[in-house]
């Protein structure tokens, strides 16, 4: 990433406001796609669209390949066919297949007529495999030879072939005339062998393989276990139909691990880049979990009500205490969600320390919506005098609960987003600001917020 990151972002925003395609093309023609993509995720979608439309279609296509998937998909339905066609042609075939849902069948099929016929045919073949299967994400551009092929012929093929011919040349696959896999050998062995030595002398006749119809995650874990660069993909007849590459395997494992980490922090959804998600998408990923945990934590309040309203004077508690577990739990859970999300985004390089204000704005908006929903649910639950559903509290106390929930959620969300970024800024591991740390901190400060609101709304803590 450029050292003048903030200045470059401001430059893109200025060019977008100019809405001058010629100026955009002139100013950005020499910029690297990686830098453009990194800056585009930090400006408004409308501004990014203006910039992409101003670029040459080929350059815009390369920029789209560097963007997070969710961000790229936000753009492509609004971009001209020439740009999207370049994007499809540059993308690995398995990623191009996923565009069909975003573009719609009609436009997707029309774009297949624009890109090279060979690529279009490969996309159509991959679409015949189930989603999440190895076949859907494999490449057909693997290095295959016959058993009698000499090492001199292998090396000559590598020297004379175009870069696009093979996805990778780390391993060379030996097939018979019917495309059955006979063995595999590495490029290193080919280089070290005698020029006239045939492939049959070098190949490992028991290669580790995967099936085209098996789940991609299973194959990715197998590849990681053995440390291979790729796995040959076989059909049910044992014929090699493609190659499952290491970069795809790493992406799958990273996505699965990210999803698992987010679920541990009570966040649902796919492993999309943080900055590519809108506020509403963040709310949808978090609120269902918060509501579920909200209901579960209300059981603690029921226990306090059961014993706190007993006939023994020593056990009688202020009604304010009945809601403490509910309120503190909601704050801790919302803080844990944000901390988990931001820590993971920092680890993957999706968020940088300079993005703190962007993160804060998004999280404040998310917290206001999420906290408002919880506050409404909390007010209704506190006020209604219905068995199981409500607790029949006074209107004043119910209002205190309804106002405290969004306040605590806002506070815990702000802490959960800033502390990991602050830790990273000062050279500390953001993981130290993990969910237990945030939850513990919010427990104490959340009580202060609760009792301050109660004191100001009720006049004094004894008015219930």
- Residues 109 and 150 both lie in one domain: no
- Residues 443 and 335 both lie in one domain: yes
The band of 1, judged by pLDDT with boundaries at 50, 70 and 90, is: very low
Residue 175 belongs to a domain:
yes
Query: Residue ranges of the alpha helices (H) in 104-166?
Result: 105-112, 117-126, 134-137, 151-160
The band of 367, judged by pLDDT with boundaries at 50, 70 and 90, is: very high
240-245 and 230-234 strand pairing: antiparallel
Domain of 151 in residue numbering reads as: 144-245
- Residues 311 and 162 both lie in one domain: no
- The residue out of 102, 128, 154 marking a domain boundary is 128
Task: Please give the pLDDT value at position 294.
Answer: 77
Return phi, psi of residue 180, to 5°.
-75, 140
Q: What is the CATH number of the domain that holds 150?
A: 3.10.580.10
Stretch 413-438: mean pLDDT: 81
Residue 393 belongs to a domain:
yes
Contact 52, 64 (CB under 8 A): yes
- Residues 105 and 54 both lie in one domain: yes
- Between 273 and 239, the more confident residue is 239
The band of 310, judged by pLDDT with boundaries at 50, 70 and 90, is: low
- Residues 21 and 163 both lie in one domain: no
Give me the numbers of helices (H) and strands (E) for the chain, helices first please: 22, 6
As beta bridge partners, residue 319 has: none
Q: What is the mean pLDDT of the chain?
A: 84
Residue 24 belongs to a domain:
yes
Stretch 265-285: mean pLDDT: 80
- Residues 311 and 230 both lie in one domain: no
CA-based angle 353:358:362, to the nearest 5? 125
- Between 293 and 365, the more confident residue is 365
- Residues 117 and 171 both lie in one domain: no
Residue 235 belongs to a domain:
yes
- Residues 184 and 230 both lie in one domain: yes
Q: Which two tokens stand for residue 183?
A: 């063995």
- Residues 389 and 284 both lie in one domain: yes
Stretch 118-127: mean pLDDT: 85
- The residue out of 181, 212, 245 marking a domain boundary is 245
Residue 286 belongs to a domain:
yes
- Residues 282 and 418 both lie in one domain: yes
Dihedral angle, C-alpha 234, 238, 241, 244, nearest 10 °: 20
Query: Residue ranges of the alpha helices (H) in 352-434?
Result: 356-383, 395-425
Could you give the CA distance from residue 443 to residue 66 in angstroms, rounded to a whole number?
41
pLDDT of 271 > 90? The answer is no
The band of 288, judged by pLDDT with boundaries at 50, 70 and 90, is: confident
Q: What is the CATH number of the domain that holds 34?
A: 1.25.60.10
Residue 401 belongs to a domain:
yes
Condensed to tens digits (0 to 9), the pLDDT of residues 193-214 reads 999 999 999 999 999 999 999 9
How many separate domains does the chain show? 3
Contact 98, 132 (CB under 8 A): no
pLDDT of 3 > 50? The answer is no
Residue 334 belongs to a domain:
yes
Residue 162 belongs to a domain:
yes
3-state secondary structure 248-262: HHHHHHHHHHHHHHH
Q: What is the CATH number of the domain that holds 383?
A: 1.10.357.20
- Residues 16 and 115 both lie in one domain: yes
Strand order in the sheet with 210-211: 210-211, 230-234, 240-245
Three-state DSSP class for residue 215: strand
**DSSP letter (8 states) at residue 146:** -
- Residues 108 and 40 both lie in one domain: yes
CA-based angle 102:108:114, to the nearest 5? 140
Q: Which residues contact 131 (CB under 8 A, 6 or more apart)?
A: none
- The residue out of 68, 100, 128 marking a domain boundary is 128
């Amino acid at each position: 990433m450029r050292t003048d990151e903030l200045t470059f972002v401001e430059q893109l925003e200025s060019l977008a406001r100019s809405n001058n395609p010629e100026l955009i093309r002139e100013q950005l023609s020499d910029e690297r796609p990686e830098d453009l993509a990194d800056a585009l995720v930090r400006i408004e979608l409308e501004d990014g669209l203006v910039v992409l439309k101003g670029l040459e279609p080929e350059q815009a296509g390369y920029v789209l390949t560097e963007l997070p998937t969710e961000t790229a998909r936000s753009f492509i339905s609004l971009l001209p066919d020439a740009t999207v066609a370049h994007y499809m042609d540059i993308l690995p075939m398995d990623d191009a297949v996923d565009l069909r849902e975003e573009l719609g069948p009609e436009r997707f099929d029309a774009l297949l007529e624009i890109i090279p016929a060979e690529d279009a045919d490969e996309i159509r073949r991959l679409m015949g495999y189930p989603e999440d299967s190895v076949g859907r994400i494999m490449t057909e551009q693997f290095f295959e030879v016959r058993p009698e092929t000499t090492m001199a012929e292998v090396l000559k093929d590598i020297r004379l072939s175009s870069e696009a011919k093979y996805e990778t040349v780390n391993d060379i696959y030996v097939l018979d005339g019917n495309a059955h896999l006979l063995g595999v050998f590495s490029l290193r062995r080919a280089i070290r062998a005698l020029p006239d030595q045939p492939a049959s002398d070098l190949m490992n006749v028991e290669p580790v393989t995967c099936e085209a119809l098996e789940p991609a995650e299973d194959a990715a874990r197998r590849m990681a276990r053995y440390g291979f660069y790729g796995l040959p993909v076989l059909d049910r007849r044992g014929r090699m139909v493609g190659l499952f590459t290491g970069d795809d395997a790493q992406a799958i494992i990273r996505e699965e691990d990210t999803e698992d980490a987010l679920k541990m922090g009570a966040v649902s959804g796919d492993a999309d880049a943080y900055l590519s998600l809108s506020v509403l998408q963040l709310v949808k990923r978090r609120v269902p979990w918060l509501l579920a945990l909200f209901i579960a934590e209300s059981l603690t309040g029921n226990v306090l009500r059961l014993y706190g309203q007993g006939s023994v004077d020593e056990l009688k508690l202020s009604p304010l205490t009945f809601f403490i577990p509910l309120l503190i739990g909601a704050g801790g859970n919302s803080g844990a969600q944000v901390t988990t999300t931001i820590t993971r985004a920092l680890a993957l390089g999706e968020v940088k320390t300079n993005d703190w204000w962007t993160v804060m704005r998004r999280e404040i908006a998310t917290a206001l919506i999420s906290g408002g929903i919880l506050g409404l649910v909390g007010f209704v639950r506190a006020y209604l005098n219905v068995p199981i559903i409500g607790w029949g509290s006074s209107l004043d106390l119910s209002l205190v609960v309804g106002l405290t929930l969004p306040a605590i959620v806002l506070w815990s969300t702000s802490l959960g987003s800033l502390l990991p970024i602050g830790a990273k800024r000062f050279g500390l591991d953001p993981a130290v600001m993990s969910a237990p740390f945030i939850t513990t901190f919010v427990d104490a400060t959340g009580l202060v917020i609760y009792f301050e609101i109660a004191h100001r709304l009720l006049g004094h803590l004894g008015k219930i």
